[in-house]
C-alpha cells in the first residue's frame, strides 16, 4: 500500500511511541503518539536549547527545551530516553504564526551523573516532532563542579633590589570549571588595568616589570569558581635598596694639626628594607700645605688650644688603661679558679681537690690518679638518670668475665660543691649562652676527651663522640638540632628529593682528632640502580654543597656514610648542618611513606573528621604528627601502613567507600581527593594530609564501618578497613606512645658507651696489628657485616676503633654486648686473658 510521503514522520512517531510503551522496564522513556498536524511542510525549530551546566554540591540542575511547531518533545540522556513522568510539559500557540509551541523541562541529579562518572561525559539533548518530521537539539553536557584544596604551585617569598623584575608563579588547584585567578597585595585586589607596571600571564603568574618600594607587601594567589574560593599561602616580597654615597662636601679649613677634611653621607639613596650599607669611609682627611699650617698655627691663643687638646688626650688614655685593667681583673677571676684543665676530666676519674694556696681557698688543684684500685668514676658535667647505675656484665668468650670474678659498677656521684660552682660559672659565659635552649628538637652537653653521646628522643637522631675525638685539654659544649624543612631553604634541583631530616651539630669549626658519627633516619628505598644519593652540608656562607656521593667515597675523605635500610651513619670530622638528598635514576626509585589515620577522641557534634597523614617513614616525622594530634585531641584509629611512592610524576589519591548510608553521610563532593606529586616528592612540606568529613544521621550513632583507599596512580596502594566505635574504641591509641630512647639526651664519658673503656682499649690494641692468621680487625669487620668499608677503616690510625664506634652508634642503647663478645672471642686470639681486666686497672 502506498503511503503519502508527508505522513512518514507521523507514522514513525506512532511506531516509536508504541515500541516505547511495549518495552516496559527495559526502556527508560515513553513517547506519546504525535498528532499529525495540518502543516505538513514545517520541521520543528528550537527556540530554546539545553546548555552546558554544572552541578554544584548536591543541587540538581534544570534543562529546558522549547520548539515550534512541535507536537512532542522528549529528552534523551547518554543515549537513553528519559521517562515521560520526569518531563514537565507546557503547550501553547505562537502568537504571530499560530503554530503549536511546546516547552519541556527536566531535572538532572548528581546521582545520575555519578553513575557514569569516569566512563564518559554525561550529556542530554532534545528530540522534537511535528507532522513534517523530527529535529534534534544540541547536546548539553552536565558536569559535577569542584575545586580541590591544594594549589599545584604556590608563590614563594622573594627579596629583590629596586627596579628588578618580580615573577610570582601560581598554578591554581584542579577544578571544574577551571578556576579563575586573581591576586591580592596586602589583601587588596591587584588590578593590572590600573597599574601598567603589573600584569598577569596566561599561566596566572603575577609579573612586576620594575620593582618599587611600594611593591613590598604580602602577595596571595586566589583561585575561585562556582564551587569555592581558595587562597594560597602568602608570599612576602621585600624590595630593598642598596645604599649609595652622596657627593663629597668641600674641604674644611686647615686645622691646628695641619690637616683638613671632607665628608659624605650614605644617603643617595640611603639603604632601605635590608639593603647593603655603603662601602668605604664617610670621612676623608689630608695634610694642609706648609704655608697654611704655619699661618693657621700662629698666635698665643693657638698655643693654649694645643695645651688643652694634649691634656684631654692624656685623660682619655688614662681612662682607657683603667678600663683595660678592670677587664683583665674580671677575666682573671674566672681563669684563676682553675689551675689545671683536667678539672673537666673529674667526671670520669678519681680526683683530689684541695686548696693550693692559703690566700685563695677557691683555687683548685686537680690530681688525677689512674693507678688507684677504686672502681668508682666520680663527678658528672651533665645530669644523669635517677635510679641504679648502669652495669656491664659479659657471660661468655674472652669477654665473659672482663673484670675478674665479680660485677663492677660505674658509679656516677655528684662532684664536690667547688666543682659544681666552677661548672655553673663556666656555663654562664657568653659562648654557651649563644646556643639555643628550651626546645624538644635540640639537645646539648659539655664534653672532653672521654667523649659521649647526644640524642634527640623519639627522632632516631644521635651524635656519637668517640673517646679521643676531642683533643686532651679541650672542653667543648656541643649541640644537636633537628630543623623543620620550612625553616631551612634547601635547594633541590631536577629530580632531587629530601630523604632525611635536616640536622645540625656544632659549633662548626671546632677541632676534632677523630670522626664523630651522626645517625639519622631516611625514607629512601636504597638501590644503586634507582638512586643517586648525596650528603649535603651547608657552608658558612649559607650555600649547600655536595660533600659526599654515596658509592663513590674516597677512603681519605673527610666524610663517610654507612647506609642501611632505614638509617644512615655519617662519619665526619667537621661539624655542621647536614641532609641526605636522593636523585631518582629511574621510575623505580621509591620513597617510603607512612600512612596514619587519626580521628577525634571525643565527638560532640554530628560531623566526624578522619585525617589521613602521608609522611616520610622516619621517626622525626612521626613524632611531629603525634605531638600535633595530641594538641588537636586526636587518636589513632588504624595501624600505620607503609606505601612506596615512586618517581612517576603521578599524584597520590585518597578515597572513602562503603559508608553505611543509613547511619552516615559523606560530605566529600568528588569521588576522591588528591595530593600533587611534587608536594610529596620534594620532601619539604610537613603534615601532608587529607580530611574526610562524615556526618552522623543521628547523635546516637557511634559505630563506623567503611573502607579507605590510598594509592598512587599506576603505583602502590594501601586499603584500610575501618570498623570501630567512635565513643569507646581506643585499641590503637598505644601504638604511637612516644617512649624515651636510652634515658637522658646527653650522656658524658663511660655511661655513653656499651663497651667498657678499658675493654675497648684492649680490643683495639689486640686487633689493630695485622695478623697472618686473619685474627685482626678485618675479620671482625666481616663478622659484623661491615667488610664493604675495609678501605675506609684501613685509612684511619685505628681501624678497630672505627668499627667499635660504628657498632656503638648502631646498637645504643639496646645492643647485645654478648653478641659482640662472641664475635671478638671467635677471632682465635692466642691469649686467653686478652680481654680480662684487673681490679687495679679499673
For 275, which DSSP code? Answer: P
Which residue has better confidence, 658 or 787? Answer: 658
Beta strands in 573-687 (DSSP E): 576-584, 590-600, 607-616, 634-636, 641-646, 652-657, 664-666, 673-675
- Pairing outcome for strands 235-240 and 158-161: parallel
| pLDDT digit string, tens, across residues 498-541 | 999 999 999 998 999 999 999 999 999 877 778 999 999 998 88
| pLDDT digit string, tens, across residues 433-462 | 334 444 678 999 999 999 999 999 999 999
State how far the Cα of 300 lies from the Cα of 711, in Å rounded to an integer.
Answer: 97
DSSP 57-92: TT--EEEEEEEES-SEEEEEETTEEPPGGG-EEEEE
Mean pLDDT of the chain: 78
440-582 and 589-737 have identical folds = no
In the structure, what pLDDT confidence band is assigned to residue 312 with cuts at 50, 70 and 90? confident
In the structure, what pLDDT confidence band is assigned to residue 303 with cuts at 50, 70 and 90? low
Q: Locate the domains of the chain by residue range.
A: 43-142, 144-238, 440-582, 589-737, 753-824
Residue 59 pLDDT > 50: yes
Name the class of domain 753-824. Answer: mainly alpha
Burial class, 483, CB count within 10 angstroms (exposed 0-12 / middle 13-18 / buried 19+): middle
pLDDT of residue 828: 66
Residue 285 pLDDT > 90: no
For 332, 614, 738, the CA distances from 458, given in Å and listed in that order, are: 43, 19, 7
- The dotted CATH code for 440-582 is 2.60.220.30
Q: Which of 231-235, 408-412, 448-452, 594-598 has the lowest mean pLDDT?
A: 408-412
- CATH T-level assignment (fold) for domain 144-238: Immunoglobulin-like (2.60.40)
CATH architecture for the domain at 589-737:
Sandwich (2.60)
State how far the Cα of 190 lies from the Cα of 222, in Å rounded to an integer.
Answer: 11
- CATH T-level assignment (fold) for domain 43-142: Immunoglobulin-like (2.60.40)
783 HSE (CA, 13 A, CB side): 21
| pLDDT digit string, tens, across residues 692-712 | 999 999 999 999 999 999 999
pLDDT of residue 602: 87
What are the φ/ψ torsions at residue 194 (nearest 5 degrees)?
Answer: -100, -10
**What global pTM score does this model have?**
0.53
pLDDT of residue 301: 57
State how far the Cα of 100 lies from the Cα of 641, in Å rounded to an integer.
Answer: 67
* Interval 586-610 mean pLDDT: 91
Amino acid at each position: 500500500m502506498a503511503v503519502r510521503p508527508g505522513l512518514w514522520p507521523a507514522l514513525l512517531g506512532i511506531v516509536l511511541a508504541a515500541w516505547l510503551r511495549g518495552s516496559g522496564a527495559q526502556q527508560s522513556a515513553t513517547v506519546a503518539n504525535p498528532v499529525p498536524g495540518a502543516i505538513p511542510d514545517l520541521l520543528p525549530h528550537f527556540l530554546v536549547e539545553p546548555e552546558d551546566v554544572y552541578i554544584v554540591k548536591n543541587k540538581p540542575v534544570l534543562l529546558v527545551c522549547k520548539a515550534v511547531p512541535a507536537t512532542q518533545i522528549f529528552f534523551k540522556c547518554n543515549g537513553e530516553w528519559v521517562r515521560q513522568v520526569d518531563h514537565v510539559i507546557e503547550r501553547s500557540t505562537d502568537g504571530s504564526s499560530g503554530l503549536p509551541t511546546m516547552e519541556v523541562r527536566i531535572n538532572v541529579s548528581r546521582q545520575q551523573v555519578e553513575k557514569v562518572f569516569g566512563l564518559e561525559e554525561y550529556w542530554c539533548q532534545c528530540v522534537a516532532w511535528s507532522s513534517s518530521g523530527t529535529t534534534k537539539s544540541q547536546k548539553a553536557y552536565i558536569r559535577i563542579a569542584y575545586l580541590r584544596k591544594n594549589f599545584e604551585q604556590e608563590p614563594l617569598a622573594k627579596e629583590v633590589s629596586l627596579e628588578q623584575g618580580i615573577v610570582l608563579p601560581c598554578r591554581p588547584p584542579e577544578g571544574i570549571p577551571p578556576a579563575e585567578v586573581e591576586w591580592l597585595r596586602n589583601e587588596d585586589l591587584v588590578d593590572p588595568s590600573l597599574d601598567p607596571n603589573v600584569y598577569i600571564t596566561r599561566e596566572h603568574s603575577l609579573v612586576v616589570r620594575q620593582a618599587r618600594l611600594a611593591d613590598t607587601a604580602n602577595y596571595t594567589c586566589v583561585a575561585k569558581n562556582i564551587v569555592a574560593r581558595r587562597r594560597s599561602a602568602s608570599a612576602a616580597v621585600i624590595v630593598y635598596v642598596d645604599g649609595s654615597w652622596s657627593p663629597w662636601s668641600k674641604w674644611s679649613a686647615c686645622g691646628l694639626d695641619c690637616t683638613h677634611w671632607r665628608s659624605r653621607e650614605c644617603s643617595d639613596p640611603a639603604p632601605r628594607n635590608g639593603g647593603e650599607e655603603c662601602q668605604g669611609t664617610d670621612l676623608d682627611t689630608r695634610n694642609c700645605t706648609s704655608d697654611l699650617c704655619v699661618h693657621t698655627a700662629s698666635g698665643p691663643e693657638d698655643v693654649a688650644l694645643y695645651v688643652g687638646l694634649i691634656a684631654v688626650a692624656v685623660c682619655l688614655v688614662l681612662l682607657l688603661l683603667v678600663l683595660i685593667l678592670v677587664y683583665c681583673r674580671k677575666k682573671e677571676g674566672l681563669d684563676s679558679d682553675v689551675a689545671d684543665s683536667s678539672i673537666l676530666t673529674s667526671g670520669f676519674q678519681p680526683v683530689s681537690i684541695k686548696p693550693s694556696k692559703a690566700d685563695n681557698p677557691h683555687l683548685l688543684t686537680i690530681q688525677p690518679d689512674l693507678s688507684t684500685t677504686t672502681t668508682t668514676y666520680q663527678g658528672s658535667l651533665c645530669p644523669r638518670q635517677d635510679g641504679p647505675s648502669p652495669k656491664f656484665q659479659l657471660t661468655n668468650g674472652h669477654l665473659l668475665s672482663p673484670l675478674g670474678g665479680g660485677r663492677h659498677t660505674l658509679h656516677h656521684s655528684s662532684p664536690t660543691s667547688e666543682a659544681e660552682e666552677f661548672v655553673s660559672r663556666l656555663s654562664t659565659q657568653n659562648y654557651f649562652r649563644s646556643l639555643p635552649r628550651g626546645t624538644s628538637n635540640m639537645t646539648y652537653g659539655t664534653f672532653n676527651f672521654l667523649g659521649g653521646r647526644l640524642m634527640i628522643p623519639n627522632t632516631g637522631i644521635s651524635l656519637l663522640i668517640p673517646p679521643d675525638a676531642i683533643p686532651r685539654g679541650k672542653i667543648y659544649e656541643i649541640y644537636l638540632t633537628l630543623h623543620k624543612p620550612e625553616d631551612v631553604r634547601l635547594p633541590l634541583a631536577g629530580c632531587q628529593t629530601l630523604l632525611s631530616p635536616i640536622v645540625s651539630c656544632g659549633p662548626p669549626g671546632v677541632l676534632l682528632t677523630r670522626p664523630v658519627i651522626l645517625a639519622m633516619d631516611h625514607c629512601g628505598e636504597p638501590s644503586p640502580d634507582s638512586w643517586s644519593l648525596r650528603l649535603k652540608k651547608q657552608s658558612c656562607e649559607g650555600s649547600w654543597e655536595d660533600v659526599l656521593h654515596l658509592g663513590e667515597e674516597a677512603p681519605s675523605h673527610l666524610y663517610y656514610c654507612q647506609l642501611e635500610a632505614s638509617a644512615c651513619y655519617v662519619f665526619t670530622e667537621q661539624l655542621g648542618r647536614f641532609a641526605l638528598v636522593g636523585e631518582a635514576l629511574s621510575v623505580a626509585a621509591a620513597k617510603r611513606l607512612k600512612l596514619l589515620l587519626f580521628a577525634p577522641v571525643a565527638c560532640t557534634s554530628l560531623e566526624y573528621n578522619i585525617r589521613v597523614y602521608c609522611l616520610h617513614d622516619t621517626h622525626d616525622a612521626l613524632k611531629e604528627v603525634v605531638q600535633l594530634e595530641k594538641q588537636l585531641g586526636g587518636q589513632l584509629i588504624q595501624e600505620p601502613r607503609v606505601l612506596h611512592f615512586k618517581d612517576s610524576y603521578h599524584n597520590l589519591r585518597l578515597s572513602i567507600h562503603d559508608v553505611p548510608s543509613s547511619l552516615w553521610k559523606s560530605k566529600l563532593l568528588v569521588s576522591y581527593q588528591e595530593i600533587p606529586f611534587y608536594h610529596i616528592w620534594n620532601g619539604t612540606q610537613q603534615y601532608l594530609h587529607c580530611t574526610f568529613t562524615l556526618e552522623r544521621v543521628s547523635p546516637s550513632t557511634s559505630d563506623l564501618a567503611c573502607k579507605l583507599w590510598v594509592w598512587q596512580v599506576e603505583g602502590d596502594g594501601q586499603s584500610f578497613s575501618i570498623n570501630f566505635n567512635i565513643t569507646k574504641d581506643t585499641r590503637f591509641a598505644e601504638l604511637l606512645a612516644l617512649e624515651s630512647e636510652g634515658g637522658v639526651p646527653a650522656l658524658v664519658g663511660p655511661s655513653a658507651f656499651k663497651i667498657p673503656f678499658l675493654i675497648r682499649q684492649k680490643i683495639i690494641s689486640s686487633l689493630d696489628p695485622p695478623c697472618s692468621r686473619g685474627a685482626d680487625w678485618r675479620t671482625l669487620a666481616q663478622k659484623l657485616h661491615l667488610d664493604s668499608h675495609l678501605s675506609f677503616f684501613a685509612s684511619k690510625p685505628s681501624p678497630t676503633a672505627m668499627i667499635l664506634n660504628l657498632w656503638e652508634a648502631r646498637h645504643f642503647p639496646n645492643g647485645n654486648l654478648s653478641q659482640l663478645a662472641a664475635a671478638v672471642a671467635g677471632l682465635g686470639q692466642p691469649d686467653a686473658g686478652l680481654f680480662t681486666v684487673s681490679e687495679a686497672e679499673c
